Amino acid sequence: MKRSRQREAVVAVLARQGRVLVIRRGPGARAAGYWAPLSGTIEAGESQADALVREVREEVGLEVTPLAKVWECPTEDGSFLLHWWTASFDDTPLALDPDEVSEARWVTAEEFAELHPTFDGDRPFFDDVLPTLGLVVPEGPGRQQDHADESA
């Protein structure tokens, strides 16, 4: 039996005002309707950082600068190895590719936990890794919240 090789993909961790950008995958994407951070397959000859820049630009129209790889994990079915990267980004409005992205939201880890459906494999990132990165601030009394959704 021929064993298929695990493919590689990048996941964009984009944080703004204590929240992380997640998307509802569009009709042309794998697992349409699922909520997840931006992600995409690394193409042949492409670095992780280059794939991150390309995927974010294609899916939501932001120009990003990769900062650091912060985590990696396999997908639930083991077909992909996901490389999670933080990145800085420009302050332009999101321009969603309707085939790839149905909706976009800036969410806290707690708000992400309320979205359905999501990939079980994303939970450890939001629960265990994200709090260690210093990208988000905990919600609490007296903190101004930005609950605005952004869509095309």
Is the pTM here over 0.85, yes or no? yes
Structure tokens at 12: 């964009």
pLDDT tens, residue by residue, 52-82: 999 999 999 999 999 999 999 999 999 999 9
Among candidates 10, 41, 22, 32, which has minimal Cα distance to 126? Answer: 22
pLDDT, one tens digit per residue, over 30-52 is: 999 999 999 999 999 999 999 99
Strands 35-36 and 19-25: antiparallel
pLDDT tens by residue, 90-136: 889 999 999 999 999 999 999 999 999 999 999 999 999 999 998 86
Alpha-carbon gap, residue 97 to 94, rounded angstroms: 10
